[in-house]
């Protein structure tokens, strides 16, 4: 729990009665940590119930991480956006577009061009999203909803809906295909994003400004924070991070495809909110986001092992997410 802004229970305020204080602490203790409690509870539940289905095998556990990695990366960027009281619905299709642009550039011009092309997708989309939101004041919900369609459409259009194979082994190795000894490369990517994301959000002036802007835009503005710039930057970060996630899809699956990442925005948002970031901004927790994503991955994995059909999985997953958020809700 590295996040000082969310993990600290509100301490006593002179003038409140001890009873309020105790009640306050009682409230906070479990609500703030509900994601960790839920994670452990679900893990233990599956460990017991799915003992014979290989849930606890090293292979399966690494699998959970592997399947969760890209969502986690996207969700780290999303944490910034939501902590800033904005939303980015375009991340899933940005990942898809980045995967195909990267794949096509590799086929034509090689490795470096491929990586740059993938990143360029994020930077361009992020600049457009951020510019429209911060300069023209259009709500991010609408801008990124539009961009969701545009990015997905472009990805499908330029590839004529065909998968773009990636034959460059180095690329596939770097972006998620390879392993570092027993540790999957994807896990390293995930860890890097989480660590950098958590440190920047909690321990840098920029991170503090993001949270302040989301907490009270007026207050931030009067404190001298350029809140338009902050809003621009978080949307730029989110799209760029999503484009990296797109390349992770491409590397792992050795191809670029417009469907990669499709629907990920909703999983990412769910992970962020489960992790304790306030949907209304002002509070952000990257470590929480990691566990939010892991919980979703855990549930997916467990339900598959339990032999549920994908339709049933969706229902159970939905119920668990609503339940967790309801429990974590601040009255």
Partner 1 sequence: MSAVVELRGIRKSFDSVPVLLGVDFEVGYGEVHALAGGNGAGKSTLMKILQGVYTKDAGEILVSGTPVAFSSVDDAKAAGIGMVFQEFSLVPSLTVAQNLYLTAEKRNRVGMISDRDSRDRGRRIFADLEVEVDIDAVVGDLSTAYWQLTEIAKAVAQNAQVLILDEPTASLARNEVDALFGLIGRLKGRGISIIYISHRMDEIYRIADRITILRDGRSLFTRRLDEVTPAEIVEGIIGRPDDGALSYRERESSAGTDVLLEAITLYSGTRVRGVSFQLRAGEILGIAGLMGSGRSELARCLFGIDRIDSGELRMHGRRIDVRNPRDAQRAGIALIPEDRREQGLVLEHSVTDNLLLPVLDTIRRGPFLDTRSGRRLSRTLIERFAIKAGDADQPVRRLSGGNQQKVVIAKWLGTRPEVLIMDEPTAGVDIGTKGEIVAMIRRLADAGGAVIVISSEFPELLAVSDRVLVLRNGAVADELARAAIPDEESLQLAVQGL
Q: Which residues bind partner 1 (CB under 8 A)?
A: 4-5, 8, 10-15, 24, 199, 203-205, 208-209, 211-212, 214-216, 218-225, 278, 282-283
CB of 119 or CB of 212, closer to partner 1:
212
Kind plus residue range of the DSSP H or E element containing 165: strand 164-165
Q: How far apart are CA 312 and CA 63, in angstroms?
A: 21
> Smallest Cα–Cα separation from 293: which of 38, 12, 16, 9?
38
CB of 103 or CB of 211, closer to partner 1:
211
CB of 191 to partner 1, least distance (A): 19
CB of 36 or CB of 206, closer to partner 1:
206
CB of 209 or CB of 255, closer to partner 1:
209
CB of 51 or CB of 229, closer to partner 1:
229
CB of 109 or CB of 280, closer to partner 1:
280
CB of 25 to partner 1, least distance (A): 12
CB atoms near residue 231 (< 10 Å) = 25
Q: How far apart are CA 231 and CA 52, in angstroms?
A: 49
Q: How far apart are CA 296 and CA 313, in angstroms?
A: 11
CB of 161 or CB of 223, closer to partner 1:
223
Q: What is the CA radius of gyration of the chain?
A: 20
CB of 232 to partner 1, least distance (A): 17
CB of 57 or CB of 204, closer to partner 1:
204
Structure-block tokens of residue 92 = 């899933």
Structure-block tokens of residue 180 = 């570092």
CB of 220 to partner 1, least distance (A): 7
> Smallest Cα–Cα separation from 230: which of 207, 247, 253?
207
CB atoms near residue 199 (< 10 Å) = 13
Q: How far apart are CA 104 and CA 327, in angstroms?
A: 46
Kind plus residue range of the DSSP H or E element containing 180: strand 179-180
Which residue pairs, CB below 8 angstroms and at least 24 apart, start in 142-150?
A: 144/87, 144/88, 144/89, 144/90, 144/235, 145/89, 145/90, 147/89, 147/90, 147/93, 147/94, 148/89, 148/90, 148/92, 148/93, 148/265, 149/93, 150/93
CB of 76 to partner 1, least distance (A): 18
CB of 27 to partner 1, least distance (A): 11
CB of 146 to partner 1, least distance (A): 24
Check: CB of residue 280 under 8 Å from CB of residue 119. no
Q: Residue for token digits 């919900």?
A: 141
What residues contact 165, with CB distance under 8 A and at least 6 apart? 103, 107, 254, 255
CB of 122 to partner 1, least distance (A): 23
CB of 260 to partner 1, least distance (A): 34
CB of 199 or CB of 315, closer to partner 1:
199
């Amino acid at each position: 729990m590295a996040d000082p802004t969310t993990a600290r229970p509100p301490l006593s305020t002179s003038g409140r009665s001890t009873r309020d204080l105790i009640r306050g602490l009682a409230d906070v203790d479990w609500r703030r940590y509900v994601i960790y409690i839920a994670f452990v509870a679900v893990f233990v539940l599956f460990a017991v119930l799915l003992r014979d289905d290989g849930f606890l095998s090293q292979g399966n556990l690494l699998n959970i991480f592997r399947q969760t990695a890209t969502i986690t990366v996207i969700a780290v960027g999303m944490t910034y956006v939501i902590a800033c009281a904005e939303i980015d619905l375009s991340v899933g299709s940005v990942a898809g577009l980045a995967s195909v642009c990267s794949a096509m550039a590799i086929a034509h011009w090689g490795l470096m061009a491929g990586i740059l092309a993938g990143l360029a997708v994020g930077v361009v989309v992020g600049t457009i999203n951020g510019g429209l939101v911060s300069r023209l004041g259009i709500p991010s919900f609408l801008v990124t909803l539009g961009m969701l369609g545009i990015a997905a459409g472009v990805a499908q259009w330029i590839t004529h809906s065909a998968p773009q194979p990636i034959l460059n082994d180095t690329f596939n190795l770097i972006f998620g295909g390879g392993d570092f000894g027993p540790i999957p490369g994807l896990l390293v990517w995930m860890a890097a994003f989480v660590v950098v994301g958590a440190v920047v959000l909690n321990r840098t002036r920029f991170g503090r400004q993001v949270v302040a802007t989301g907490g009270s835009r007026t207050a931030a503005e009067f404190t001298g924070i350029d809140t338009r710039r902050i809003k621009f930057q978080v949307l730029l970060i989110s799209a760029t991070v999503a484009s990296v996630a797109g390349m992770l899809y491409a590397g792992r699956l050795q191809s670029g495809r417009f469907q990669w990442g499709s629907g990920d925005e909703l999983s990412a948002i769910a992970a962020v909110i489960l992790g304790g970031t306030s949907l209304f901004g002002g509070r952000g927790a990257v470590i929480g986001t990691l566990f939010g994503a892991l919980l979703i991955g855990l549930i997916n994995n467990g339900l598959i092992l339990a032999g549920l059909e994908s339709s049933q999985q969706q229902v159970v997953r939905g119920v668990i997410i609503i339940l967790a958020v309801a429990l974590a809700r601040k009255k």
